[in-house]
C-alpha cells in the first residue's frame, strides 16, 4: 500500500473489504463456534458408541452402527467435525503459507480432504443403516 | 497477498520466540497441534466405518491395526488429543463470553485443561480395556 496521496473514488472501507487472508468476514468465526459447541455432545456420544463397540465382532458392530439412533448421531458427528476441521485447517494454512499459489493449492486440498473424509464416513454409516 | 519483502518500518510486536514460555501460551500452541493431528486422524474414523460396512475381512484388518502396538499408541495419542482439544475448546468458548481472562483464572483454566485431558484419557482407556475384557 502506498502512502502517496492518490485520489480514490472508492471509499477506504470499500477498498479493504474482502482483503483479509480468507477474503471473507466473520462467517467462519461463527461457524467454527457453532460446530465447536455441536462437537462437544456429539464427541461424547461418539466416544460412548466406540467404547460400546470395543471387542465386538464385525457383525455386532455393523448391527449397532447401523441402528437408526447410532447412525444419526454418527452422521451428525461426522458432519460437524469435518466442517470444524476444514475451517481450522484453513486458519492454519492462512497463518503460515503466504505464497498465493501454494496457499490456494493447500486450501483446495483442505476442502478435498475434508469432503472426502466426510463422504467416505457417511457412506460407511449409510451402507450399514440400509444394509446394502 | 502483498509481497512486501522490505523490512517493515514500524514497531513489530515481539515474536513468539522472544517470550519466556508460559503455560497459557504452550496450551494455545498445543491446541493448534492437537487440532492438526485430529484432522488427519479422521482417516482412521473413515477407515473404521468403511471397514465395518465392508465385512468381516476388512474389519479384521482394521482390528489388527488398532490392536497392534503402533495402532494402540496412535489411538492413545488420538484419545488424548481429542480430549485436550475438546477441553481447550470449552476454555475458548468460556473466553468467548468475556470470562476467564483474569491472571489466576487463565492459569487455573490452562492447568485444568491439561490435567483433565490426561486424567480423562487414562480413565477412558481403563474403561475401554475393561470393556474389551482386559488387555490383550
Average pLDDT taken over every residue of chain A: 90
Q: Summarize pLDDT for B44-74 with one digit per residue, the tens.
A: 999 999 999 999 999 999 999 999 999 999 9
Please give the Cα distance from B86 to B78 (Å, whole number).
Answer: 12
Q: Does A14 fall in a domain? A: no
B7 pLDDT band (50/70/90 cuts)?
low
Q: Does A6 fall in a domain? A: no
First to last CA, chain B: 54
Q: Does A104 fall in a domain? A: yes
Predicted pLDDT at B134: 53
Range of the domain at A46: 26-130
Residue B76 near residue B15, CB atoms below 8 Å: no
Provide the grid cell at B9: 518500518
ipTM of the prediction: 0.84
**Residue A86 buriedness (CB in 10 A; 0-12 / 13-18 / 19+):** buried
DSSP secondary structure letters along B45-99 = HHHHHHHHHH-HHHHHHHHHHHHSHHHHHHHHHHHHHHHHHHHHHHHHHHHHTT-
Distance from CA of B92 to the nearest CA of A (A): 9
- B134 and chain A in contact, CB less than 8 A: no
Task: Pick A65's closest partner by Cβ from B52, B96, B128.
Answer: B52
DSSP E strand boundaries for A4-95: none
> Phi, psi at residue A44, to the nearest 5°?
-60, -45
Among A19-28, A54-63, A65-74, B48-57, which is the least confidently predicted range?
A19-28
Predicted pLDDT at B133: 73
Instruction: List CB contacts (< 8 A) between A36 and chain B.
Output: 89, 92-93
How many structural domains does chain A have?
A: 1
Q: Which CATH number characterizes residue A108's domain?
A: 1.20.1300.10
B5 three-class SS: coil
Q: Does A98 fall in a domain? A: yes
The alpha carbon of residue B7 and the mean position of all alpha carbons in its chain are separated, in whole angstroms, by 36
Of B17, B13, B12, nearest to B29 by C-alpha is B17
Mean pLDDT of B77-91: 97
Q: Does A2 fall in a domain? A: no
Q: Summarize pLDDT for A71-115 with one digit per residue, the tens.
A: 999 999 999 999 999 999 999 999 999 999 999 999 999 999 999
Mean pLDDT of B112-124: 97
Q: Does A49 fall in a domain? A: yes
Q: Does A19 fall in a domain? A: no
Please give the Cα distance from B29 to A96 (Å, whole number).
Answer: 14
Predicted pLDDT at B18: 75
Q: Does A62 fall in a domain? A: yes
Amino acid at each position: 500500500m502506498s502512502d502517496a496521496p492518490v485520489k480514490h473514488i472508492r471509499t477506504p472501507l470499500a477498498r479493504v473489504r474482502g482483503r483479509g487472508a480468507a477474503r471473507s468476514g466473520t462467517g467462519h468465526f461463527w461457524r467454527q463456534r457453532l460446530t465447536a459447541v455441536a462437537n462437544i455432545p456429539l464427541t461424547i456420544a461418539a466416544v460412548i458408541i466406540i467404547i460400546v463397540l470395543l471387542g465386538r465382532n464385525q457383525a455386532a458392530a455393523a448391527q449397532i452402527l447401523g441402528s437408526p439412533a447410532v447412525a444419526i448421531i454418527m452422521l451428525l458427528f461426522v458432519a460437524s467435525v469435518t466442517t470444524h476441521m476444514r475451517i481450522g485447517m484453513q486458519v492454519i494454512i492462512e497463518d503460515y503459507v503466504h505464497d498465493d499459489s501454494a496457499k490456494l493449492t493447500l486450501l483446495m486440498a483442505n476442502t478435498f480432504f475434508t469432503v472426502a473424509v466426510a463422504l467416505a464416513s457417511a457412506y460407511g454409516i449409510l451402507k450399514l443403516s440400509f444394509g446394502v | 497477498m502483498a509481497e512486501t519483502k522490505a523490512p517493515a518500518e514500524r514497531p513489530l510486536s515481539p515474536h513468539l520466540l522472544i517470550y519466556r514460555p508460559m503455560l497459557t501460551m504452550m496450551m494455545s500452541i498445543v491446541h493448534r497441534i492437537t487440532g492438526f493431528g485430529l484432522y488427519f486422524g479422521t482417516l482412521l474414523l473413515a477407515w473404521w466405518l468403511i471397514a465395518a460396512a465392508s465385512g468381516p475381512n476388512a474389519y479384521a484388518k482394521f482390528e489388527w491395526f488398532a490392536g497392534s502396538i503402533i495402532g494402540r499408541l496412535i489411538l492413545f495419542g488420538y484419545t488424548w488429543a481429542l480430549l485436550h482439544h475438546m477441553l481447550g475448546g470449552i476454555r475458548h468458548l468460556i473466553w468467548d463470553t468475556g470470562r476467564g481472562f483474569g491472571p489466576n483464572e487463565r492459569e487455573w483454566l490452562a492447568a485444568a485443561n491439561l490435567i483433565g485431558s490426561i486424567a480423562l484419557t487414562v480413565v477412558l482407556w481403563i474403561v475401554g480395556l475393561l470393556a474389551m475384557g482386559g488387555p490383550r
